[in-house]
Amino acid sequence: MTDGPGAVSHGRSQSGLLGLFYGPPVPGVRSYLCPFPLGERLPAGRKNRILLVRILMTQAANLDRGSEAAGAGMEKENRQLDSIDPYPLIINKRRFHSRLFVGTGKFSSNQAMMEAVNHSATEMVTVALRRVDLNKSVDEEDMISLLDRDRLQLLPNTSGARDAEEAVRLAHLSREMGGGDWVKLEVTPDPVYLLPDPVETYKATERLVKDGFTVLPYMHADPVLALRLQDVGASTVMPLGSPIGSNQGIKTEESIRIIIEQARVPVVVDAGLGAPSHAARAMEMGADAVLVNTALAVARDPGFAGLAFARATLAGRMHFLFGSEGSSRSGSWNSASASSPLTGFLDEESRS
């Protein structure tokens, strides 16, 4: 940037709300993503300031028009990043532009669920088979009939299955009802903590793959199990961040890092993500996608919560691709690192 006094070029894109803004603040500008006066500073120079204000106003107007406009804007941002992402998300030959998958349980109403789905611009939704009337086809279900099956990948899940036999039976029932060949495999014999059974999960994965299913198994953050599931044909692995519905965030970070490092299939962090920052953290670590349900279902506004998670997922992926490597890693540190040089002070000689 060169127009206007004091303009500084930082080499960052300033489209959307993802850029870093410099210059005097614009009084009274409010963002619908952050409902208080924008605290960031806009670029010096009248033209740049006007442009960014217009962007903010356009985004606010889109959100005012409803979830379709908000979702369309988010979908556009996802596609823009996907077009330059060297590692696109592909599961069973299908390419996903959105890396946020959404669960459909616990919502207060179908309308609230649809707001979360539309605002988030997700392209994959999970549906618990135990909540589906087995006497109807999948498309006749009230909730599922609302979903755009041409745009969304439906992912029936076997939640509630206590062993491999039950999980396999549920998956086959889903296929017979028109639910397709994709299945999120959940085998959780413990009704209190809902932790997945590794042995039964392995058995069910092996059987379902042989039966022609695209299997996405929910699992402990166990690097050895992740490799074994890949060996028998799992299309992804889905390690838990923390127990289902706990909203505790990622408590298994170091194990998930190993899984990501060794993975030959996409890694989707599932369960326990209770805030957009949790989703961003998973993506910063190098996860291929995240799945969120409870945090959206219990939100005061599921639609805007979905949008917040979508933006956090996108930002986390951007940081993984373009940010500094060290900032994506946790661990101990024993010294500070100055961002400005520590030499060249005017009185340097008197200090020595």
Q: Which of 213, 211, 168, 210 is nearest to 186 (CA)?
A: 168
Alpha-carbon distance 116 to 146, whole Å?
13
With the C-alpha atoms ordered 160, 293, 216, 284, is the resulting torsion angle positive or negative? negative
Residue 235 contacts residue 91 (beta carbons within 8 Å):
yes
Using CB atoms within 10 Å of the CB of residue 147, give its burial: 0 to 12 exposed, 13 to 18 middle, 19+ buried. Answer: buried
Residue 315 contacts residue 276 (beta carbons within 8 Å):
no
Residue 239 contacts residue 219 (beta carbons within 8 Å):
yes
Of the residues 184, 203, 210, 251, only one is catalytic, namely 184
Output the six-digit token pair for 130. Answer: 């135990």
Alpha-carbon distance 303 to 326, whole Å?
34
Distance of CA 271 to the CA centre of its chain: 11
With the C-alpha atoms ordered 311, 280, 302, 159, is the resulting torsion angle positive or negative? positive
Q: Which of 151, 165, 168, 103 is nearest to 131 (CA)?
A: 103
Whether residue 184 lies in the annotated active site: yes
Give me the active site residues, please.
184
